[in-house]
Amino acid sequence: MLERSALSVPKAIERIGGLQTQYAPSAYLGLWSRLRSFERAALTRALEGRSVIQGTLLRITIHMVSASDYWPLVEAIRRARRAWWLGATRRGAVEREVIAAAERTRTLLADGPRPRRELMQALGVDGTTWNGIGLWVDLVRVPPSGTWDRRAADLCGLAEDWVGPPAATEEQGVDLLIRRYLAGFGPASIKDLASWSGLSTAPLGSALDRMSLRRFRDHDGGELVDLPRAPLPDASTPAPVRFLPTWDATLLVHARRTQILPERFRPRIFSTKTPHSVPTFLVDGQVAGTWRVERGEIRVTAFERLPRETRRELDEEAEHLLAFHS
């Protein structure tokens, strides 16, 4: 966020630990804020070319990840996702039924991707059961669904057909998951990792013990870990104005240590009625207001009075955002 990067789209997505994409345009806007000369078509091409994969992953939410990261992350979280679903729905007694429905789903998709609604109708299941089925048969969201131009990620395909066969162990996946999180959000605690990944601290602690990491102490004496050569910018490093989309992971609870979102503003970004964030903008590395597209313009609402020079920088960045958005 300090300086736009020249990384490729897949490498950029790896660097920030994946992109949460319940709202598909969020991925495009998140990359625009982080990459130089990024064009919307670049992410769509990556999805079509299968170098970026979209599926239900971390925290059982839709994410875009690189193709090489897909299977390791699936293996890392598979057991935890199944256990959470069975516990949350109290449906342990019907696990066999869900597994059987997953096998039927595999058969229905043998000839290629199909719309989610069509699959649910063929199976005769509700949304809760469908979510469970997706934990026993690995599904991806296939373009053109889940893109800027067709935002509902509702075209499902078999992951092994779209990505190729699984090629990772659970241990390898957990190690990669930790590296991806720390690259985007380190230094961090094991609780931060657990909140982001949906895993318990036990498998994460075992992985941290076998990894070579930098270790720090926070103000309360708790342990923080980071990658060995991860950058640690000085606190005085200037941070330019940046616009963030809905669902940007830097604003979620696990990222509180980054101090991007001042706690006094958190209720204005999240609420029980809208658990997703609203689009925000950063000034000097912190959330300073919200934005929206309205009548062909970027409308910004600052939470506090902004200096004239900052307002000028914000207006210039908004013009670039509008050009990208149009």
- In tens digits, the chain (326 residues) has pLDDT values of 889 999 999 999 999 999 999 999 999 999 999 999 999 999 999 999 999 999 999 988 999 999 999 999 999 999 999 988 888 776 555 788 899 999 999 999 999 999 999 999 999 999 888 989 999 999 999 999 999 999 999 999 999 999 999 989 999 999 999 999 999 998 999 999 999 998 999 999 999 999 999 999 988 899 999 999 888 888 888 899 999 999 888 888 777 776 788 889 988 888 767 666 789 999 999 999 999 999 899 999 999 999 999 999 999 999 999 999 98
Q: Which residues neighbour 272 within 8 Å (Cβ) at sequence distance 6 or greater?
A: none
Output Rg (C-alpha) for the chain, integer angstroms: 20
Residue 174 lies in a domain: no
Count of CB atoms within 10 A of residue 9's CB?
A: 22
Are 218 and 246 contained in the same domain? no
pLDDT of residue 271: 74
Relative to beta strand 52-56, strand 114-115 is unpaired
Same-domain pairing of 292 and 219: no
CA 210/CA 196 separation, integer angstroms:
20
Q: Are 24 and 142 members of one domain?
A: yes
According to DSSP H, which parts of the chain are helical?
A: 9-15, 25-32, 40-48, 67-89, 95-108, 116-123, 127-133, 159-162, 170-185, 190-197, 201-210, 266-269, 308-325
Assess if residue 286 is contained within a domain. Answer: yes
SS3 74: helix
**Do residues 83 and 217 share a domain?**
no
Domain co-membership, 19 together with 130:
yes
Predicted confidence at residue 93, as pLDDT, reads 54
- Distance (Å, whole) CA 224 – CA 278: 29
Report if residue 157 sits inside a domain.
yes
Is 142 found in the same domain as 267? no
> Which whole-number Å values give the CA distances from 109 to 92, 160, 224, 251, in the listed order?
26, 11, 44, 36
Cα separation of 184 and 230, whole Å? Answer: 10
249 and 152 share one domain: no
Is residue 260, in this structure, part of any structural domain at all? yes
Q: Model pTM? A: 0.93
DSSP states of 200-248: -HHHHHHHHHHS--EEEE-TTS-EEEE-TT-----TT-----EEE-TT-
Buried b (16+ CB within 10 A) or exposed e, 57-73: bbbbebbbbbbbbbbbb
Q: According to the model, what pLDDT value does residue 92 have?
A: 55
Residue 216 and residue 249 in one domain: no
Same domain as 207, residue 76: no
Sign of CA dihedral 314, 316, 322, 323: negative
The pLDDT score that the predictor gives to residue 181 is 94
pLDDT at 275: 63
226, 252, 281 — which closes off a domain?
A: 226
Domain count, the chain: 3
Q: Are residues 100 and 218 in the same domain?
A: no
- Residue 208's domain comprises 185-226
Whether 135 and 39 share a structural domain = yes
Identify the pLDDT of residue 251: 85
Asked if residue 201 belongs to a domain, the reply is yes
CB 225 within 8 A of CB 188: yes
Q: Considering the domain boundaries, does residue 268 fall inside one?
A: yes
Cα separation, 27 vs 25, whole angstroms: 5
Residue 173: inside a domain: no
Q: How many CB atoms lie within 10 A of CB 23?
A: 17
Q: What is the largest CA-CA distance in the chain?
A: 63
| 13 and 155 part of one domain | yes
Q: What pLDDT shows up at residue 149? A: 95
Q: Within a domain: residue 235?
A: no
